Amino acid sequence: MLIIAERINSSRKSIAEAITTRNRAFIQAEAKKQADAGADYIDVNAAVFVGEEIEHLTWVIETVQEATDLPLCIDSPDPKVIGAVLPLVKSAPMINSITLEPARLEGLLPMVAEYKAKVVGLCQSEDTMAESTESKVELAGRLVEAVQKAGVPLDDLYIDPLVYPLGTSSNSAQFTMDAIDRIMTEFPGVHTTCGLTNVSHGLPARKLVNRTFLVGCVIKGLDSAIMDPTDNQLFAALKTAVMVSGRDDFCLEFIQAFRSGRLEQA
Amino acid sequence: MLIIAERINSSRKSIAEAITTRNRAFIQAEAKKQADAGADYIDVNAAVFVGEEIEHLTWVIETVQEATDLPLCIDSPDPKVIGAVLPLVKSAPMINSITLEPARLEGLLPMVAEYKAKVVGLCQSEDTMAESTESKVELAGRLVEAVQKAGVPLDDLYIDPLVYPLGTSSNSAQFTMDAIDRIMTEFPGVHTTCGLTNVSHGLPARKLVNRTFLVGCVIKGLDSAIMDPTDNQLFAALKTAVMVSGRDDFCLEFIQAFRSGRLEQA
């Protein structure tokens, strides 16, 4: 289970402020906190600064890499920004994200191949926000095809089937979970990932909804998540779901998490 | 989602003591507490009192029925005990449980039919403790067949695929969840139910494990659970899992649970 730690995102006010004020200590503390909490990749995002994204993301990347040796997940909707910052990374990164939009796909796939990067592929095309299971799986198939054609191993692709708010469609989470199940079965070797917060948009008790959705996704085969590993209840739900889904031999990881105090709220 | 409330079970010390001392107030408070917390059936069990089970269970049933109008789930391994107390119930009960052991099956099915009762069917035969998904589904098929032959509608059968401790087999929960998925798909119209506590036997943070397993089972299609509805974290996990699995139109039940304060810990 690969954890992409999401906290260093400019859509969060405290992060945006730390970026504009060049608050190195704050960003580095966020990086270390997530590394200590079990992150595998540190997501870095400066996308709110349209027009100045390269400059800001460059600073964030250099700052985070001083604080941790973990690889980065370069998070931008703009292939030009990703191309500009990729030469800075110290170890093979993850790129977040490609879609089936031709400019984004064709702009990014050569870089994914060149940097031997992992890449998040969103089930989204120019004309489709895939809501049904069927349409998510169809777009996933097109991502698989495009990535393989570009010479990127399937093992480097993390398909995000996307999730829409339960408040606007009662089946949205089910469609995403069923898509995870089918993608993992129909494209052996590929990975799946997912962000969690969208599912609970507009509902109360959002953290409860997010972590219950995470458990459901893991039970259906999800093997990566874009999440906040410093949220102990969320982390505990993840570790327990991995065990319950039969992917924790002898319950060793679960027992280790318990011993290190990470399951204490339970 | 049908909740069979499990607290009035003589394997719990406080309950056994209340039964032997004929502590009516204690048993009735347990019944009311569970009814208020969302129980659909109140399980009643006096099975630790071997030789005196009929006498004790009779008292428990009369006591509980004074406190609540909810139907009962008559819980005994002994068909003779169940036969003796069935005439006491005020509304169509659930019988907990049949297995494929001939004496238990043949002893109980005529009563299930006569009382138009619902019945829990365990995936267990004289010679098999079904551990694999395959063997659980096979025994489920034999239960379906036996029940239908006895003239009991499939809608009255709640198949419990059983779960063995994760501590002794890392795949045990996965096998149970996959069996739930297959049973609900292969025998349309049947129900599934499950107890939760066995899965975490020998592990730390047992409540976390139990409720994560419950979420997984619900995501796989479980439509009933044998559980303690007064455990707010467990109840919140259940309500949220039902919503996430697409079975809560417009999130109404979830929002109602939130408004009544049942999701507060989240």
Predicted-complex ipTM score: 0.95
Contact yes or no for B220/B177 (Cβ under 8 A) = yes
CB contact under 8 A, B258 and A205: yes
Per CB-CB distance under 8 Å, the chain B contacts of A215 are 212, 215-216, 219, 241
What share of residues in chain A are helix, strand, coil (percent, to 5)?
Answer: 50, 15, 35
The residue-averaged pLDDT of A74-97 equals 97
- The pLDDT of residue A264 is 78
Q: What percent of chain B has pLDDT over 90?
A: 97
- What is the CA A12 to chain-centroid distance, rounded? 16
What's residue B37's pLDDT?
97
Q: In whole angstroms, give the CA distance from residue B258 to residue B266.
A: 10
Of A170, A212, A240, the CB nearest to B240: A212
B223-249 pLDDT per residue, tens:
999 999 999 999 999 999 999 999 999
| Contacts (Cβ under 8 Å, ≥6 apart) of A234 | A196, A207, A210, A211, A214, A227, A228
Tell me the average pLDDT across B178-197: 98
Specify the pLDDT at position B117.
98
pLDDT band at B128 (very low <50, low <70, confident <90, very high): confident
- What whole-number distance in Å separates Cα of residue B13 and Cα of residue B25? 16
- The contacts of residue B211 (CB under 8 Å, 6+ apart) are B196, B233, B234, B237, B238
On the question of pLDDT at B264 being above 90, the answer is: no
Contacts of A252 in chain B (CB under 8 A): none
Cis peptide before B97 (omega within 30 of 0): yes
Q: How high is the pLDDT of residue B265?
A: 65
Partner B contacted by A251 (CB < 8 A) = yes
CA distance A265 to A22: 35
Give the Cα separation of A55 and B137 in Å (integer): 59
pLDDT, position B127: 87
In angstroms, the CA A239 to CA A265 distance is: 13
The closest alpha carbon to A50, from A74, A27, A8, A81, belongs to A81
Cα B18 from chain centroid (whole Å): 22
Mean pLDDT of A51-66: 98
pTM: 0.96
How is residue B33 annotated by DSSP?
A: H
Burial B145-173 (b: 16+ CB within 10 A, else e): ebbeebebeeebbbbbbbbbbbbeebbbb
A127 pLDDT tier (thresholds 50, 70, 90): confident
The CA angle B117-B121-B124, to the nearest 5 degrees, is 155
Does residue A258 belong to the interface with chain B, where contact is any CB pair within 8 Å?
A: yes
In our burial notation (b when 16+ CB lie closer than 10 A, e otherwise), range A148-178 reads: eebebeeebbbbbbbbbbbbeebbbbbbbbb
| Candidate from A39-43, A127-131, A184-188, B227-231 with smallest mean pLDDT | A127-131
User: For strand B41-45 and strand B2-5, is the pairing parallel, antiparallel, or unpaired?
Assistant: parallel
- Asked if B214 has any chain A CB less than 8 Å from its own CB, the reply is no
From B118's Cα to the closest Cα of chain A, the distance in A is 29
Burial track A209-228 (b if 16+ CB lie within 10 A, e otherwise): bbbbbbbbbbbbbbbbbbbb
How confident is the model over B191-207, as a mean pLDDT?
Answer: 97
In this predicted structure, what is the pLDDT of residue B22?
Answer: 98
CA closest to A262 among chain B residues: B205
CA distance B34 to B8: 10
- For B31-47, the pLDDT digits (tens) are 999 999 999 999 999 99
pLDDT surpasses 60 at B266: no
pLDDT at A265: 65
The CA radius of gyration of chain B, in Å to the nearest whole number, is 18
